[in-house]
A = this chain, B = another copy of it.
Amino acid sequence: MKFKNLQEENINEVINKANILLEALPYIQHFNRRIIIIKYGGSCMVDEELKNSVIKDVVLLKLVGFKPIIVHGGGKDISSWVGKFGNEPKFINGLRYTDGFTMEVVEMVLNKINKSLVQKVEKLGSKAIGISGKDGGLLKVKKKQMGNEDLGYVGEIVEVNNKILYDLLEKDSLPIVCPVGYDDNYDTYNINADDVALNIAKSLKVNKLTFLTDVEGLAKDLNDKNSIISELSVEEARNLIKENIVGGGMLPKINNCIDAIENGVESVHILDGRLKHSLLLEIFTDQGIGTVLKA
């Protein structure tokens, strides 16, 4: 037999808890049985605690009725493993040059990361299946053209065969996708993970596409934290590009966002993956987090 000892302060704390749970109510309602894509990369793939925090968030989303799909990249792990073989990673215009041997290493590392994420989900009592773009013929690619540069086995998505994703979701699994696919000759290619997330989101016409990144959001002035934009429209985004305000690594991300919205995705989010539970906070609280792009 246990006894209770509730003081006044406790009561208030407890009521505060209830209110936070209830703040989530309309969001849970809105996304019930809806698919949400989470692109997971950057710092939050390095720090073990952040990794766990992201997975915990996704499992919670799944439990309260969302149908999440994780897309992940390989980040620093790839360079590190390629390095172990005495090869220096080579980049051309920010894209890794991928020779045949490197492609083998890249695929191996991506699959390893993939299964380690599966493992984390299973540890939390939920069911995940890790696939690459090869499984069920999910991603068909062609060799990426980059002016005169040869990038090697870097692919560009030409077709998404999403049946396998529907199959897995129907069986209540959480699909975790790594960015590898094959072309018409069944040669293996590395794909940019952002592109994978974008193309799957477009193919499934999801409600929400979320990029967990290493920035707090889109900023007008990269050096001024107060210039971080919390919400903008496609039109406003185009203007920022025209006025050269967005540039650098942000440019392709913004272009992806615009592409998604114009192809049926309801909202695209750029979140700070370095902030613990940023995903949860973005979805379940009224103030939100990071930058959201809408039609």
Contacts and interface: CB of A to CB of B under 8 A. Distances in A.
A182 B164 CA distance: 25
Interface in A114-166: 114-115, 118-120, 122-132, 134-137, 164
B122 A134 contact: yes
Interface residues of A, number: 85
Q: Which of A3, A170, A188 has the most CB of B within 10 A?
A: A3
Nearest to A182: B119
A59 B25 contact: yes
Q: Which of A115, A164, A188 has the most CB of B within 10 A?
A: A115
Copies in the complex: 6
A226 B171 contact: no
A186 B121 CA distance: 11
A128 B135 CA distance: 6
Given A3-B228, A111-B112, A231-B1, A21 B21 contact: yes
Nearest to A166: B171
A231 B135 contact: no
Interface stretch (A43-51, A202-210, A272-280): A272-280
Contacts of A14: 281, 285, 287, 289
B107 A132 contact: no
A84 interface: yes
A288 to B, nearest CB: 9
A19 to B, nearest CB: 8
A250 interface: no
A236 to B, nearest CB: 5
Interface stretch (A34-42, A60-68, A90-98, A257-265): A60-68
26 contacts: A1-B231, A2-B229, A2-B230, A3-B226, A3-B229, A4-B229, A17-B23, A18-B277, A21-B21, A22-B60, A22-B277, A26-B125, A85-B85, A107-B112, A115-B188, A118-B135, A119-B182, A119-B186, A120-B186, A122-B134, A127-B137, A127-B164, A129-B131, A129-B136, A130-B134, A167-B173
Interface of A: 1-5, 11, 14-15, 17-26, 28-29, 32, 56-57, 59-60, 63-65, 84-85, 104, 107-109, 111-112, 114-115, 118-120, 122-132, 134-137, 164, 167, 170-171, 173, 180, 182, 186, 188, 216-217, 226-233, 236, 275-277, 280-281, 284-285, 287, 289
